Chains A and B, each alone.
Chain A
Amino acid sequence: MHTQFQSRERHTQELRGTDQPSSATGDGVSLDNVSHAYRDRRGTEVQALAGVSLYASRGSVLAVVGPSGCGKTTLLELICGLQRLDTGSIECAPAVLMPQRDLLLPWLSAVDNAALALRIAGVSRTRARMRGASLFEELGLDGFERARPQELSGGMRQRVAFLRTLLSGKPVLCLDEPFGALDAITRQEMQEWLTGALVREPRTAVLVTHDVEEAIVLADRVAVLSPRPGRVVAELSVDLPRPRTRTDPSVIALREQALHALNLGAGGGER
């Protein structure tokens, strides 16, 4: 255990070290009355989000939960600037998306995938590999630097994808159901790992999930969205020390609150 903490400290320094932007600790995200509609394949207009206002302070984790199809993914794409706003405004530092599917490039090794953002930023292949590889042990990936994504397990792929997100150096992380595709045990491992990673390496994170428990275990604040068109039906503050467990009574109490809000949202669509 002791050696692990030592290596964590080293890692923190390394990450802050060279070519990270000065805002590495993160800036906030603020959405004000955001609405977005898109046209589906048949050309009918679908209102995905209707007047969503959210705020995540610097270095905090905001979880967004809601039923499927409530515009959660749209929300993240708006924050990342991948889609245009219809109305409202978003104030946010540069954000990077971690999609639900890991989307690792099959022709790159694990370490090259992790260091992809560095290569895009113009870092040489050798230096990018060194930076990426220095974090592999931290993630329990050592020995797999040169493996191709197809050779990794689902949990490992997700860790490589997270490392890729982290190494982009952007202050805001948009996590779209990052552990949705994993089995229950791996998912819990990854949640614990993410908690640790964000403590060591504070960034503002917007975590989209349909798993209420996951939201409460990981986030500082939880926003509950209604079914489409998505609007915020409840916001919960999670003032619990980390790491949290699912069996903690306060976690269970908050979970009940969030589930209640979800049901209300599904029933009446009223705040």
Chain B
Amino acid sequence: MTPEDPAPHARATRPPTPPTAPPKASPRHVVARILQYLPAVLLATALLGVWEAYVDLGSVSPIVLPAPHEVAGEAWRNSGLLASNLELTAQEVGLGVLLALIFGFVLGVLIHLSPLLRRAVYPLAVGSQAVPVALIGVLLVFWWGFGVLPKLFVIVLICFFPVVVTTVDGLASVDPDQLKLLRTLGASRWQALRFGELPAAVPAALSGARIALAVGVIGAYIAETSTATSGPYAGLGHQINADINALQTPRAYAAAAVLFVFAIACFYTLALAERLLAPWAHQPRGEIR
């Protein structure tokens, strides 16, 4: 080492910046977070205002279109009924989407590993999305009887597809050079999958799961409609149909509003889970090299 050379370990003397310091929840931060939701709140309020004005000024019958304040009142009066129906529907959606996530991920990995399976299964998976699920639900009730099984089947059938597609794309997104490198480090095919491809597919599959959750809620409605049971506690979807038939339109709207909020909550819960399960996918990119 000659004197005019810069010290080779110059970088080492730089004090290490704390690598994974999460931003502190200062009051300013909290305000900023709340302000982020402001556009959504404003838009929703404006839409509700238009709706309310239309009903009030146009004197529309509440059986056809109840005003938002009527829906809110109905929701308040029937909160117990709505809560127990939501519980059932939430279970169906949660379990259904979880099964769809597992099934879709495994199928995606198998399709990725086997070109034969890809050629064999992919067309069928695409075709499955054109199946009239409502009819399938009715037929499954004849086959499996009333109960949660036909409903779950309907939800999984609707939800697995986005997970398969995003998983396959995520697995294929791994840099071929990365796989070459893993090979020279001595990795077997299985280890290349375990260290290189599966982690890359996790955020992709979770994005698919977010789509699945959003359609899963309407899937639950279809499932409950097509596998109709009697009784007041048969899920929100079933309650909506029963109320419409009984001309209790405001209560049907209240149930629909609960589903609406539930779908939003699911979506953002999963986004949060994604941040925890795949934090690397959300970190800011480093300096441009």
A32 contacts B by Cβ under 8 Å: no
Q: A189 and B11 in contact (CB under 8 A), knowing A103-B175, A146-B20, A148-B20?
A: yes
Contact of B11 among A121, A140, A196 (CB under 8 A): A140
Q: A151 and B286 in contact (CB under 8 A), knowing A107-B199, A185-B6, A192-B5?
A: yes
B191 contacts A by Cβ under 8 Å: yes
Interfacial chain A residues near B185, Cβ < 8 Å:
96, 116-117, 120, 164, 168
Interface pairs (15), CB distance under 8 Å? A81-B184, A99-B177, A101-B177, A106-B281, A107-B202, A120-B182, A141-B12, A144-B16, A148-B20, A148-B280, A155-B11, A170-B184, A181-B289, A192-B8, A193-B9
What 7 additional pairs, Cβ within 8 angstroms, besides A105-B195, A170-B184?
A97-B184, A103-B177, A103-B181, A120-B182, A140-B9, A153-B286, A156-B11
A82 contacts B by Cβ under 8 Å: yes
Which 5 residue pairs spanning A and B have beta carbons closest together?
A143-B16, A140-B12, A147-B19, A154-B289, A97-B184
* Residue on B nearest A151 in the bound complex, by CB: B19
A63 contacts B by Cβ under 8 Å: no
Encode A133-167 as 1/0 by CB contact (under 8 A) with B.
Answer: 00000001111101111111111110000001000
Q: Is the CB of B1 within 8 A of A120?
A: no
Q: Is the CB of B181 within 8 A of A120?
A: no
Interfacial chain B residues near A103, Cβ < 8 Å:
175, 177-178, 181
Contact of B181 among A99, A142, A150, A188 (CB under 8 A): A99
A-B contact count (CB 8 A): 110
Q: Is the CB of B280 within 8 A of A107?
A: yes
* Residue on B nearest A189 in the bound complex, by CB: B8
**Closest-CB distance, B1 to chain A (whole angstroms):** 6
Interfacial chain A residues near B286, Cβ < 8 Å:
149-153
Residues of A within 8 A of B (CB): 4, 77, 80-82, 95-97, 99, 101, 103, 105-107, 116-117, 119-121, 140-144, 146-157, 164, 168, 170, 174, 181-182, 185, 188-189, 192-193, 196, 243, 245
A183 to B105, CA, bound (A): 42
Q: A96 and B278 in contact (CB under 8 A), knowing A148-B283, A154-B289, A156-B11?
A: no
Chain B: interface residue total (CB-CB under 8 A): 41
Interfacial chain A residues near B77, Cβ < 8 Å:
none
B230 contacts A by Cβ under 8 Å: no
Interfacial chain B residues near A188, Cβ < 8 Å:
5-6
Q: Is the CB of B289 within 8 A of A105?
A: no
Q: Is the CB of A154 within 8 A of B287?
A: yes
B115 contacts A by Cβ under 8 Å: no
**Closest-CB distance, B5 to chain A (whole angstroms):** 7
Q: Is the CB of B19 within 8 A of A95?
A: no
A191 to B17, CA, bound (A): 25
A146 to B20, CA, bound (A): 8
Q: Is the CB of B280 within 8 A of A150?
A: yes
B10 contacts A by Cβ under 8 Å: yes
B284 contacts A by Cβ under 8 Å: yes
Interfacial chain B residues near A101, Cβ < 8 Å:
177
**Closest-CB distance, A271 to chain B (whole angstroms):** 31
B183 contacts A by Cβ under 8 Å: yes
A203 to B281, CA, bound (A): 36
Q: Is the CB of A243 within 8 A of B177?
A: no
Interfacial chain B residues near A95, Cβ < 8 Å:
184
B29 contacts A by Cβ under 8 Å: no
B2 contacts A by Cβ under 8 Å: yes
